[in-house]
Structure 1
Amino acid sequence: MLRPRIIPCLLVHEKGLVKTVSFKSPKYVGDPLNAVKIFNEKEADELIVLDIDASVDGAEPDYKLIADLASECRMPLCYGGGIRSVEQAKRIISLGVEKVALSSAAMADPGLVTRIADELGSQSVVVVLDVKKRLLSKEYDVFVHNGRKNTKQGALETAVRMAALGAGEIVINSIDNDGQMKGFDLALARRMRAAVKIPITILGGAGSLGDIEALVGACGVVGAAAGSLFVFKGVYKAVLINYPNVAARDALVGRALGWGPEGNKQ
């Protein structure tokens, strides 16, 4: 049975694990490999790791870091940052990563999505769309280069187009909600879920497990990704890697979807 996924999202900046607020002011929160070890112990559903330097700097993916992460990781791993060619994507997959994530490269060269999907399969291609709400509008634009450049392309239309090009999953990352810990943009999530027929993951804004429950209740089987929620604890945001145990996840999903004790719809 398909289930919602609860996914920690780790940002790598200058080889360290960081957390941002609205894509600004990266705060160092630890070592990426140590975080992976803890998420292994907590049996996380999946893990997203994004190198926020590589694409902006025009650098190659950090293959040594990727290999170390993949070797340590015991859950499905999605890696993004600096991927601009089929050859780079193939090398990353060969290191033990399950999915490669494209962002600015997919916007600059949409055909890259198709070429990688043809080579590796759609299930291995994720497109991450960093989106920001237009001023005095209900619509959203896609931004690239860590939210610095507006592509002037609509978020919903771009998501539908990337799915048609061969992406196996779309990650919608809210710039406005990033690090705010006040809840997901549920209005945007519902619209994306209705428009895109492939798996989607919503990222940006989760401050509690209740926020994840609200997202699953609004969208059904969806990926619920978070950064701050899983690296901070308490009102003073002390750094503490955390993740709900299996029982808590099952209870959350059951409440959100109205599942009975056997996992069936009530």
Structure 2
Amino acid sequence: MASQLGTLYVVATPIGNLDDLSKRAIDTLKQVQRILAEDTRRSQQLLTNFSIRGSLTSLHDHNERQRVEQVKAWLAQGDDLALISDAGTPLISDPGYVLVNQLRQDGFNVVPIPGPCAIITALSVAGLPTDRFCFEGFLPAKPSGRRKVLQAMSEESRTWVFYESSHRVLECLKDMNQVLGAERELVLARELTKRFETVISGTCEAVMAVLSSDSNQCRGEFVIMVKGLPEVTSAPPVSPELLLQELLPHVSTKTASQIAAKLTGLPKKELYQMALGLKP
């Protein structure tokens, strides 16, 4: 029976430039029996552009849980389905987690069709360390909640990334300036792959100044990337023998063992005997 089950394809769609939709994604969307879309009206424009005539069904934050059983029924009867979001890769700050999680638990086949993702697109041109990074999605809309998250992330050593909307971006930068400090380095990417794509690098204060002086820079969709703080590394432990060798030419054996005990945590008697053995 398992071989007769349908497959859910998780399909990434363009974040701006329609030419970024891969041939594999187009072929998949054309072959499936049904397409689950966050906003069917917006997705219909994409499908029309590529002459895709798939049957659209809405799946968004408000109806996802109710859709799960219906999706399972379609897959059980052998239908192949595709899941798309308004832009980018589904589940990345978009609907789909509840559905995919449940389908995987129930043994259904879920296949990724990779493609555009705003986080990765932004990081690829930011010039920030990308060997390690963390993603925070959208920060809280309320200032108090936003500042709380910023404070919690303030000492993060990895590059950290989050999305922000046009009507909150300037207020968010002001909070960042207050919590992280004016000199914290960050990169703001706006309208990626679109006509007015902008990538601004600099200190928090400098980036905020750019947006404050040009209202056009406050429009669109934003990815904000913050450079992590350098990791604080502890000094290697001091060898008690080396420490005593440095102290003995300058202080008495007793004083040297007392200082060494304080710095190493070892017993004074043990260090005193070690010091005696080091004396000429």
TM-score, structure 2 length as denominator?
Answer: 0.28
Considering fraction of residues, name the structure with more strand: 1
**TM-score w.r.t. structure 1 length?**
0.29
When you count helix as a share of all residues, which structure comes out higher?
Answer: 2
